[in-house]
Structure 1
């Protein structure tokens, strides 16, 4: 790897002082994300304001240095791994909540603000920001926006893209662009706000976001519904989503998930599949909402339906759901966790297809996730030190993506593309569509310095 130009290092040292780091500990700390892919950067820049971000980008462009923006590194696709070398630009020190505007139901934040910290700051105002990924306590708003994070509440409240009103960002030329603002209706020019959300730092670096806030519901209640098999559960998902009441969450767990929960001490009866369905509202309307959801959940193949109206019972149900992902480590130390999306009606076919892949690979594959959006997490479990298991696990992964695409779905609902799914973009999109994406990339980042090698496949692969 070519060393960083001395003039470049001098510029960043003068600009950032101690916030420009090249010591081994800093490089190691910014070498991987939650995908466990690993590549050392050549330097770490930790700006404190947008002007410094602009100056860093301009220096990178002048000297041809790749730049990877980074939040807290909770992503699972390798999007924050500096595989091309160059520098990591960490937003850890740009972590101010600039303003909370209850009258406009919005908050203005810097990208390094943690999702959990923002939710705490909003509580006294009776508001919340809907995206709730599993890493909500420790992930950053900038990271949420970069990969269009969602979470269980997305079925009712939408993903990050649906809950952002405006952005300030720095393009690959170092230009500052502003789009959107503290208003919910806008028909003025191109919608750059929603273009940048989900672009994984390949088009511009978000330095400020105006987020759409939602009033905190007065009451919540939940249902736990057990089914004979995944097909019956998926049919229930279709019924629930077809009636007028939108659930707050609608989570699916397959038979392997339930077996794992029981293995880890959760009191979950034997069943082929389970749905967790939540509703929120006020004290007067919640019973009606819950009844409507329960009626839709009933049907052929339902084994049992339990109502959880008090907080502690709901907490126990969700504690079991949240324990699923970490509990997978008790089966095998290696985990390939990818999220795919299919039409809700195709959930049974996806689960059946994954079960067939599990048998073919002779490896456990556990499926659960946000069924109301057709967004399921497929977890391939294996022992990395076993060469045969390692090979079979990584051979099964492309088949999961192919299955989702065959069923009319897509590669990701909330994790993003990064490195993990980049090479499958040619299957998901036509050459013309990818050419349009490349043209947008070229317009905003003409020298290709922003997060190179991510999202879009290599041109020779087209």
Structure 2
């Protein structure tokens, strides 16, 4: 394997490494204090090993990133790229003796073009910052992960992240038109385009989106924008079972409706959000479905969807009266994962996506897994995409409960594959799901993906130990 070529550097090598890095970086961009560098060791995933970095670098320019990669290649030192470290798969976790390459200081919005409907940004730009900036031009950048106030565009590209609005507007990959990427040996490569159309050569841009920093370092991105839609209105529908809520989802999609958001929160999640934020959500419900429309007549669309929810067995359907009430409901959904973490102190957040037609089977299966392992497992889901986030709540100080949590996590992934789904809809593979990736894509798929990795990174220094 490629990764076997990398060894943790010795102390003398570390000294040489720092000296070489300082030859092309300002001193404040090179962090060596162990009390500081340890804080860059991992992202937000549970059960993912993390090593001790030799050094953390925070470049501000493309040339500085190139210098880091040339140094790493010369010394055969692994490099782990990082953004805001809000990821949930361990993809940003350090390996022993590595250079952590944090891109958060490269945070400039370089261009916003209303005519071409593009933005050109550096990787450290925070998702919400970009959204607010383009909004001033009457435009929007649709991908909106729940962590949008913290996560960076580079991290979104690395993990091919999604968000609440994907049911209508799609995921990050559909908005990345072109990239500037520093390769493992320090060369700079441009991919893609800034035009509305373009099919020249292999689509290396799409290949790099979702590659989790294993093929190159994104230093600039050309992003597609859309006209700012009308203010959306949200409807909340209560159901006596998760199966009934999933039936409503199927009816909505089969009926040709195009909601801007279609989200599900199960009973456990609703109670957790209430406990955390005292929002007064209906705890008597077994499942709460949130549907939104950003059309020119959202009230009419909500009325049609409300009727479908009632036909599927909704016990109550309540459309929001205004934008403020709509935003309150969306805030409840965005708080779901944070609220579930507060239940026991630690969570394992799964990211299994199944065909919409099997969503009810998925939720029923998760409930059986929770009973089997005597665990609290809350589910929030991008229901319109079939993308579920089963969240296992457990006490990390209890070895038996931790074991059961990991086993339940794996069983949920197996269930997703059994239902014709995928092990990750938007969080990526990282460290957490390497074994499951091999099961999903098969031995030939693994062989071909490793061949791609070797072509981009023959020394195996880019984010080793991730994905494969």
Does the alignment reach a TM-score above 0.5? yes
Are 1:214 and 2:229 counterparts?
no
Q: CA deviation at 1:262?
A: 4.3
8 A contact 2:273–2:340 mirrored in 1: no
Structure 2 match to 1:156: 168
Q: Provide the C-alpha distance between the structure 2 equivalents of 1:227 and 1:365, rounded to a whole number of angstroms.
A: 19
DSSP 3-state at the match of 1:349: helix
8 A contact 1:77–1:417 mirrored in 2: yes
Structure 1 match to 2:75: 63
Structure 1 match to 2:292: 278
Q: Provide the C-alpha distance between the structure 2 equivalents of 1:75 and 1:52, rounded to a whole number of angstroms.
A: 25
Q: CA deviation at 1:380?
A: 0.6
DSSP 3-state at the match of 1:136: coil
Q: CA deviation at 1:30?
A: 1.1
Q: Provide the C-alpha distance between the structure 2 equivalents of 1:286 and 1:367, rounded to a whole number of angstroms.
A: 27
DSSP 3-state at the match of 2:115: helix
Structure 2 match to 1:402: 414
Are 1:182 and 2:219 counterparts?
no
Q: Provide the C-alpha distance between the structure 2 equivalents of 1:74 and 1:25, rounded to a whole number of angstroms.
A: 20
Q: CA deviation at 1:337?
A: 1.0
User: Please, which of 425, 431, 438 is the counterpart of residue 426 of structure 1?
Assistant: 438
> What's the TM-score once normalised by structure 1's chain length?
0.95
DSSP 3-state at the match of 1:125: coil
Q: Provide the C-alpha distance between the structure 2 equivalents of 1:432 and 1:309, rounded to a whole number of angstroms.
A: 53
Give a deviation string over 1:167-213, Cα, whole Å, max 9, x none: 11112222211111222211111111111001000011101000111
Q: Provide the C-alpha distance between the structure 2 equivalents of 1:159 and 1:89, rounded to a whole number of angstroms.
A: 25
DSSP 3-state at the match of 2:250: helix
**Distance verdict in 2 for CA 1:261–1:88, change over 3 Å:** closer
Structure 2 match to 1:130: 142
Are 1:200 and 2:208 counterparts?
no
Are 1:15 and 2:27 counterparts?
no
Q: Provide the C-alpha distance between the structure 1 equivalents of 2:272 and 2:430, rounded to a whole number of angstroms.
A: 29
Point out where structure 2 has 5 or more consecutive residues left out of the alignment: 1-7
Report which stretch shifted further, 249-258 or 293-302.
Answer: 293-302
8 A contact 1:48–1:94 mirrored in 2: yes
Structure 2 match to 1:443: 455
**Distance verdict in 2 for CA 1:132–1:12, change over 3 Å:** same
Q: Provide the C-alpha distance between the structure 2 equivalents of 1:431 and 1:85, rounded to a whole number of angstroms.
A: 31
8 A contact 1:237–1:371 mirrored in 2: yes
8 A contact 2:232–2:294 mirrored in 1: yes
Superposed CA RMSD: 1.5
Structure 1 match to 2:101: 89
Q: Provide the C-alpha distance between the structure 1 equivalents of 2:61 and 2:231, rounded to a whole number of angstroms.
A: 40
Q: Provide the C-alpha distance between the structure 1 equivalents of 2:281 and 2:124, rounded to a whole number of angstroms.
A: 38
Give a deviation string over 1:74-128, Cα, whole Å, max 9, x none: 1111111112431101112211111111111110000011111112211210112
8 A contact 1:220–1:309 mirrored in 2: no
8 A contact 2:32–2:56 mirrored in 1: yes
8 A contact 1:84–1:452 mirrored in 2: no
Q: CA deviation at 1:263?
A: 4.0
DSSP 3-state at the match of 2:350: strand
**Distance verdict in 2 for CA 1:175–1:402, change over 3 Å:** same
Q: Provide the C-alpha distance between the structure 2 equivalents of 1:428 and 1:194, rounded to a whole number of angstroms.
A: 20
Q: Provide the C-alpha distance between the structure 2 equivalents of 1:203 and 1:424, rounded to a whole number of angstroms.
A: 20
8 A contact 1:336–1:380 mirrored in 2: yes
Structure 2 match to 1:237: 249
Q: Provide the C-alpha distance between the structure 2 equivalents of 1:394 and 1:317, rounded to a whole number of angstroms.
A: 31
Structure 1 match to 2:372: 360
Q: Provide the C-alpha distance between the structure 1 equivalents of 2:354 and 2:411, rounded to a whole number of angstroms.
A: 14
Q: Provide the C-alpha distance between the structure 2 equivalents of 1:438 and 1:84, rounded to a whole number of angstroms.
A: 22
DSSP 3-state at the match of 2:311: coil
Q: Provide the C-alpha distance between the structure 2 equivalents of 1:448 and 1:84, rounded to a whole number of angstroms.
A: 14
Q: CA deviation at 1:424?
A: 1.1
Q: Provide the C-alpha distance between the structure 2 equivalents of 1:168 and 1:105, rounded to a whole number of angstroms.
A: 19
Q: CA deviation at 1:139?
A: 0.9
- Equivalent pairs counted in the alignment come to 454
Q: CA deviation at 1:5?
A: 4.8
Point out where structure 1 has 5 or more consecutive residues left out of the alignment: 457-462
Structure 2 match to 1:268: 281
Q: Provide the C-alpha distance between the structure 2 equivalents of 1:448 and 1:202, rounded to a whole number of angstroms.
A: 9
